[in-house]
């Protein structure tokens, strides 16, 4: 059959399928889909688990090695102050931050698929881990200047030598931190094995913005005591931010003026550089100026020569052990208590990793594998848990620097680890006199980017009230309740909003642009006009059990008043009023002509082009609509169903009740059919 034939004659879906040789794809047997050929080949398995074997042999040593060395050196300098500062957020000694930038990062280099993310400490993840650390090791980590112990003692699980600063369970903060890290790693490995990398889509950009802004409030609150040099009790659970500030104001008279002065100078210098100097000279320098490290060194030297700890009672970092820690297993007895917190941290850390990795992959035209990223992060966290690490994550600031200064591959991270190894082996004790207020200042200045996300709220609200509500609710829940409660509430609200939007697909009336086969929404396009007697309705969205009744009501509303006066039989009953015109019920054509004269509808066409899927409940509703319209003398046609929707209808036996002669590949074919039908 010539396709030109259909320009004036309606083409039915069955004819369309035959003309263009439709065939339904064959599904693989379940056994073949589970056990795919070649999936278990050892060589391919090793390469898939360790992508380094793919890119390292192709590495351009002449073109990239210098850039990676410069990038790695720069990032290593950033790791030192950030690692020490963010480790304090997690409730563990500052040296742990440098361990986090060394042990898990080495394994991530072998298993990760992103070339540019800088893994290590991240403020939000460390803050989330601190909840479990503070819960299962009752007291805060002791003041480093006086009470820090040998690293091996911190990890000793023998109850006979447990220090005095632990709770009744016998675990130190470092031990609890390693247990959290292990649980997070196990969760990420499980999610990766189950191919659940898509879980990151649960955290939309709007939700992440509100969540991280709320978490920034917690981070700032945790550092106020170090900025002021005041001691306040730890609070847990809902409203802990408010209770903390109440205690701070109650004890404000006990603040340490020297600590306040150190904090003010540190924040002032860092802010002056970031806001004034850096925009002016930043682009002219070959590498970024390590102002945070300079602040750490200056603070250490001032504290050392002025003996701030003894003379002014300034809390300092304290003993920093040299060398690498011996591997010690985390306390597995704590794992059942940490499963929920670990899952939340695992999802948040992975979402941050994927967000950063996706940004660089799109910018530099390469791909990242979400499931492999889960496996890489999980395995790295498990390794880190044996070396006293908190859960690690990607850092926005370090990743941007690593890419900006020329980093090409993860060899930059290897260079960074080698330099950190030098610090751990030789230079670590130099930072022992460093005041905690300097580290707190670095954290506070780094929070500016997170607090600037407050601008996202009005923008999100303008774009969509749903997004604005998600942002505000997540932010308030994180601040007033707690980080994990806020995240859970934000995810739940996001899913509810998606469900609400999915329950209300768009339904509109279409009209024809004269002398074309184009049909447009008449409420938006003035050039389109409805065809007399034919009502064309477009449904956009999925049709399922939750919205089938809503769609049916809207379709009837769009069609208009379907009461008795619009039916063929009612018009025949009123035919006596037209005796002079001698209208009778002899032929359907006469009746249809009367309907046209009275601007009545004789055909309803449902445009299914924008319907992405249907379920059995929706199919039954379409059958019910067809029978309802048929009982009232109306022709009901479906047009432009996608192949998947058509196949679902076949699977649900839709065409046992609905004639396939009234299914068309386009709206125009349905219109031609209606115009050429006996009632037209």
For residue range 512-555, what is the model confidence (pLDDT) as tens digits? 999 888 999 999 999 999 998 899 999 988 888 888 888 899 88
Residue 305 is part of which domain span? 60-498
Rounded CA gap, 346 and 331, in Å?
19
Count up the domains in the chain and report the number: 2
Tokens 């509430």, located at residue: 489
Question: In Å, what is the CA distance from 571 to each residue of 206, 579, 636?
Answer: 55, 13, 19
**pLDDT, greater one: 305 or 281:** 305
In a domain, 52, yes or no: no
Q: According to the model, what pLDDT value does residue 29 have?
A: 55
pLDDT tens-place string over residues 171-210: 889 999 999 999 999 999 999 998 888 777 777 888 888 9
DSSP structure class, residue 429: G
pLDDT at 387 over 90: yes
Residues 444 and 513 in one domain: no
In whole angstroms, give the CA distance from residue 206 to residue 216.
Answer: 15
pLDDT in tens, 297-353: 999 999 999 999 888 888 888 888 888 888 999 999 999 999 999 999 999 899 888
- The per-residue b/e assignment along 657-667, b for 16 or more CB within 10 angstroms, e otherwise, is ebeeebbbbbb
DSSP assignment of 465-504, as one string?
A: HHHHHHHHHHHHHHHHT-HHHHHHHHHHHHHHHHHHHHHS
Q: Are residues 403 and 508 in the same domain?
A: no
- Contact criterion met (CB below 8 Å) for 527 and 248: no
- Residue 36 pLDDT greater than 70, yes or no: no
**Same-domain check for residues 80 and 112:** yes
pLDDT greater than 70 at residue 154: no
Q: Which of 157-161, 386-390, 483-487 has the lowest mean pLDDT?
A: 157-161
Q: Which of 467, 498, 529 marks a domain boundary?
A: 498
Give the ranges where 365-435 is alpha helix by DSSP (H). 370-385, 396-404, 411-422
Given a cut of 90, is residue 477 above it in pLDDT? Answer: yes
Do 400 and 536 belong to one domain? Answer: no
pTM: 0.75
Band of pLDDT at residue 381, cut at 50, 70 and 90: very high
Arithmetic mean of pLDDT, 19-28: 72
Residues 451 and 356 in one domain: yes
Whether 41 shows a pLDDT value over 60: the answer reads: no
Q: Identify whether residues 444 and 511 lie together within a single domain.
A: no
Residue 29 inside a domain? The answer is: no
Binned at pLDDT 50, 70 and 90, residue 679 comes out as low
Task: For residues 577-594, give the mean pLDDT.
Answer: 40
The confidence band for 152, taking pLDDT boundaries of 50, 70 and 90, is very low
Specify if 660 maps to a domain.
Answer: yes
Q: Is residue 608 part of a domain?
A: yes
User: Which 3 state secondary structure label does DSSP give 257?
Assistant: helix
pLDDT score recorded for residue 165: 41
Considering the domain architecture, whether residues 299 and 350 belong to the same structural domain is answered as: yes
* DSSP state letter for 529: B
The answer to whether residues 164 and 250 belong to one domain is: yes
pLDDT, average across residues 653-664 = 91
Note the pLDDT of residue 164.
40
The answer to whether the beta carbons of residues 178 and 129 sit under 8 Å apart is no
Same domain, 294 and 343: yes
C-beta atoms surrounding 68 within 10 Å: 25
State percent of the chain over pLDDT 70. 84
Final residue belonging to a domain, choices 463, 498, 533: 498
State the average pLDDT for the chain: 82
What is the average pLDDT across 374-400?
A: 92
Highest-confidence range of 191-200, 266-275, 557-566, by mean pLDDT? 266-275
């Amino acid at each position: 059959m010539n396709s030109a034939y259909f320009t004036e004659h309606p083409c039915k879906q069955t004819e369309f399928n035959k003309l263009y040789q439709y065939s339904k794809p064959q599904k693989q047997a379940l056994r073949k889909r589970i056990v795919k050929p070649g999936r278990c080949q050892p060589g391919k398995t090793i390469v898939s688990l360790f992508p380094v074997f793919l890119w390292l042999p192709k590495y351009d040593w002449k073109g990239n090695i210098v850039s990676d060395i410069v990038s790695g050196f720069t990032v290593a300098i950033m790791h030192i102050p950030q690692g020490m500062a963010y480790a304090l957020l997690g409730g563990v000694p500052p040296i742990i931050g440098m361990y986090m930038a060394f042990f898990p990062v080495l394994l991530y280099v072998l298993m990760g698929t992103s070339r540019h993310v800088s893994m290590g400490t991240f403020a939000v993840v460390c803050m989330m881990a601190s909840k479990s650390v503070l819960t299962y090791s009752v007291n805060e980590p002791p003041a480093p200047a006086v009470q820090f112990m040998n690293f091996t003692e911190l990890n000793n699980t023998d109850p006979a030598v447990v220090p005095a600063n632990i709770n009744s369970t016998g675990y130190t903060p470092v031990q609890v931190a390693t247990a959290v890290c292990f649980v997070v790693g196990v969760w990420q490995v499980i999610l990766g094995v189950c191919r659940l990398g898509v879980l990151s889509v649960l955290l939309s950009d709007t939700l992440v913005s509100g969540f991280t802004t709320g978490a920034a409030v917690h981070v700032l609150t945790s550092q106020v005591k170090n900025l002021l040099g005041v001691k306040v009790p730890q609070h847990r659970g809902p409203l802990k931010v408010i209770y903390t500030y109440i205690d701070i104001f109650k004890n404000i008279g006990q603040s340490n003026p020297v600590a306040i002065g150190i904090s003010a100078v540190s924040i002032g210098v860092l802010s002056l550089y970031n806001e004034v100097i850096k925009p002016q000279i930043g682009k002219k320098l070959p590498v970024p100026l390590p102002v945070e490290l300079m602040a750490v060194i200056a603070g250490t030297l001032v504290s050392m020569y002025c003996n701030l700890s003894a003379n002014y009672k300034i809390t300092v970092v304290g003993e920093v052990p040299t060398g690498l820690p011996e591997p010690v297993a985390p306390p597995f007895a704590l794992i059942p208590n940490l499963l929920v917190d670990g899952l939340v941290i695992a999802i948040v850390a992975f979402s941050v990793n994927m967000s950063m990795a996706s940004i660089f992959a799109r910018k530099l035209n390469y791909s990242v594998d979400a499931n492999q990223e889960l496996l890489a992060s999980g395995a790295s966290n498990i390794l880190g848990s044996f070396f006293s690490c908190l859960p690690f994550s990607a850092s926005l600031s370090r990743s941007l620097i690593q890419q900006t200064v020329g980093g090409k591959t993860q060899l930059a991270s290897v260079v960074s680890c080698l330099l950190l190894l030098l610090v751990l082996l030789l230079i670590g004790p130099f930072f022992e006199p460093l005041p905690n207020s300097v580290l707190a200042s670095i954290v506070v200045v780094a929070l500016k980017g997170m607090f600037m996300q407050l601008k996202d709220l009005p923008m999100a609200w303008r774009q969509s009230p749903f997004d604005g509500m998600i942002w505000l609710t997540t932010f308030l829940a994180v601040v007033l309740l707690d980080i994990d409660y806020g995240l859970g509430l934000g995810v739940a609200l996001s899913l509810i909003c998606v469900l609400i939007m999915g329950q209300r697909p768009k339904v509109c009336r279409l009209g024809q642009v004269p002398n074309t086969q184009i049909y447009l929404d008449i409420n938006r396009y003035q050039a389109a006009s409805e065809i007399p007697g034919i009502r064309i309705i477009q449904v956009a969205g999925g049709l399922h059990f939750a919205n089938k009744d809503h769609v049916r009501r809207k379709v009837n509303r769009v069609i208009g008043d379907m009461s008795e006066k619009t039916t063929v039989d009612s018009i025949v009953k009123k035919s006596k009023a037209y005796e002079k015109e001698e209208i009778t019920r002899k032929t359907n054509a006469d009746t249809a002509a009367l309907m046209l004269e009275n601007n009545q509808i004789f055909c309803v066409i449902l445009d299914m082009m924008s319907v992405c899927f249907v379920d059995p409940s929706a199919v039954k509703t379409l059958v019910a609509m067809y029978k309802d319209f048929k009982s009232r003398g109306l022709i009901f046609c479906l047009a432009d169903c996608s192949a998947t929707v058509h196949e679902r209808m076949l699977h649900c036996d839709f065409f046992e009740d609905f004639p396939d002669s009234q299914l068309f590949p386009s709206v125009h074919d349905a219109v031609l059919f209606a115009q050429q039908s006996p009632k037209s």
